[in-house]
Chains A and B, each alone.
Chain A
């Protein structure tokens, strides 16, 4: 299959309207590891013939790290710019592979005039599975031990715990829950703009602590749903020298690989 990425401005020029905007996010656009997740999710959208578009160069950072670091000016500038773009196109529905983008657009844009139906890709994929549109083959993950690392901005911040698990269960895999999961999940260490700076002085890195908890259950795969968690846990697995035995894989990649997309 020849995969396509329709860009919003082109679609409008052709007089077409997408059903949903795929919000790629900065990590999804620029970070090499996250780009692979973006590609996997794009393949799923293509395979299911979903009428989607990306904003392309018109997309800007949602402002999440600036607001959380305490710089409201930068947040407002980016947020208002994005809202102007989205409203200008009359966007109704957005799906994103980043829980930080998801949280900001869903919870913080409405007060600034940006009201959309916003879904995280785990919810979107769950919907597609439930509607019978997306069939997931067990494929390479059948019977594999998969544990899931809850992203704070999906879990505690927005109460989304089941959607990611539905996807893993659809793979016919063995979902192993660690002790500290769901509401008790430990942060990967990247939230609140920590992704962009060194840890403060302490006796351990947060991602090392979290990875330790995850590898305790001897998983074959650590499933993640956030590009920052992905980076942090991947680094953690590497520093434990376990990268050959344990793969850190995003939910979209799990589905794409299982279905051989």
Chain B
């Protein structure tokens, strides 16, 4: 083993190890953040969970509500998943100082043709992904698709999206540089190349370069690709792109209830029950009773997992009747605000300990009451979400706080509440008139 190889192994281990450690710490932070949420038991069977995950996350079922974007996204997704195979070889090479360790291990056996087929498959998908990525950049910059031009995407979210698309272009460029230079070298030394169609062609274009230069280019491709992969890993926990991981647990924990069902509040149930029936003994409810959610950690862990799983595609907002008619409510913004608030709080907690407060809250400082009041609870956002997020669940929890803790409701709602309480109907009619309609019957 040459000294240069040894240096490369050490450099690889240092780079990969440090990045892995830093990324792990940040992922752990996100995990802890989600677990600061209120407990919620999701009553679903393992079969239901696996089915939701396989259909919705793995199978991309709900993406196909919009055919063209679904197809384009599928290319990137498939390419990402299958590229992991090549990444295995890159890591093995990095650890052992070898060069295409799998190819050499398989050389001469039937596995060699499988290896070549897989790499070819990856390369075709990568090339397609290259073009799709350009379409996705154009979709945000030139075509100005409406759901990518909304106010909540100004600033960091827009940059975040462009960063990811940029990373993809760089990743693909490096992998073609690596495979191209490798193919050129291999064909010079062994008459024929590896049998990689796309990079083989690219290699034939640069084969006139001296062997040393080709080897150098190949190394740049390898290290460049590796560094981009690690950058991606480090960037992921700060980005909307985290959905590539969290889509799976998030769909696994899909709530099984009908979408129309709003979850019960046992504390209030028992209180009302003991009011109506003095002999009723309410079961103990744990902890301090708070009505609805004022801040992120009053929400359930599933709401928080939802927020980290959101990739800001905006399908929810496009489908929202309030948003379509110019109201301030945007379900996507609800998810983004929830995540931003968690990140802001966890930064504070990291610095000042678990009792950290900044006199702000999700309700009011991040999400305004006007947004909350605009929701028709129509479930369009929930229906649209390709990874089964429920913005509605968060909206309702915040509304509960707004109405029951802050007693801040529109005058018309106050009248409605009063009517319901006094007349058992949302309008001001006497309960004794409930059968008046029968007079018109005959």
Contacts and interface: CB of A to CB of B under 8 A. Distances in A.
Interface residues of B, number: 70
A153 interface: yes
Contact of B427 (A30, A66, A84): A30
A196 B427 CA distance: 9
Interface stretch (B194-202, B223-231, B373-381): B373-381
Contacts of B438: 5, 42
B376 A70 contact: no
A187 B378 contact: yes
B132 interface: no
Interface stretch (B234-242, B254-262, B334-342): B254-262
B157 to A, nearest CB: 23
B358 interface: no
Given A72-B265, A76-B268, A107 B260 contact: yes
Contacts of A56: 434-435
A153 B260 CA distance: 6
Contacts of A223: none
Interface stretch (B93-101, B104-112, B164-172, B396-404): B396-404
Contact of A186 (B321, B409, B432): B321
Contacts, number: 225
Contacts of B272: 73, 76-77, 80
A199 B327 contact: yes
Contacts of A5: 435, 438, 441
Interface in A5-48: 5, 7, 24, 26, 28-31, 35, 38-39, 42-43
A157 B409 contact: no
Interface string B317-347: 0010110111111000000000000000000
28 contacts: A26-B427, A29-B435, A30-B427, A30-B429, A39-B437, A42-B438, A57-B432, A60-B431, A65-B426, A71-B417, A72-B265, A72-B404, A73-B268, A78-B420, A80-B276, A107-B257, A152-B379, A153-B260, A156-B379, A158-B259, A186-B378, A192-B378, A197-B410, A197-B416, A199-B325, A200-B322, A206-B324, A209-B325
B214 interface: no
B421 interface: yes
A69 B401 CA distance: 11
A62 to B, nearest CB: 10
A261 B388 CA distance: 45
B260 A157 contact: yes
A39 B442 CA distance: 9
Contacts of A200: 322, 327-329, 370, 373-374
Given A61-B425, A70-B403, A200-B373, A206 B437 contact: no
Contacts of A157: 258-260, 379
Contacts of B403: 69-71
A158 B260 contact: yes
Given A65-B416, A76-B268, A156-B259, 19 more contacts: A24-B437, A28-B437, A29-B433, A42-B441, A59-B434, A65-B426, A72-B265, A72-B291, A74-B420, A77-B272, A77-B421, A103-B260, A152-B379, A156-B260, A158-B259, A186-B380, A191-B376, A200-B370, A206-B324
A51 interface: no
Contacts of B379: 152, 156-157
A194 interface: yes
B58 interface: no
Contacts of A39: 437, 440-441
Interface in B100-135: none
Contacts of A65: 416, 420, 426
Contacts of A108: 261-262, 264
A70 B404 contact: yes
Contact of B417 (A38, A66, A202): A66
B327 A29 contact: no
Interface of B is mostly: helix
Contacts of B425: 26, 29-30, 60-61
B326 A191 contact: no
A56 B431 CA distance: 9
A206 B438 CA distance: 33
B441 A206 contact: no
| Interface size class, chain A | 35 or more
B412 interface: yes
Contact of A190 (B262, B376, B413, B416): B376
B183 to A, nearest CB: 48
A63 interface: yes
A159 B257 CA distance: 12
B382 interface: yes
Nearest to B409: A69
A202 B326 contact: yes
Nearest to B425: A26
Contacts of B399: 68-70
A253 to B, nearest CB: 14
A194 B435 CA distance: 26
Contact of A187 (B257, B321, B396, B417): B321
B160 to A, nearest CB: 28
B376 A152 contact: yes
A187 B410 CA distance: 21
B163 interface: no
Nearest to B273: A80
Leading 4 A-B pairs by shortest Cβ distance: A157-B260, A192-B377, A203-B326, A202-B326
A163 to B, nearest CB: 15
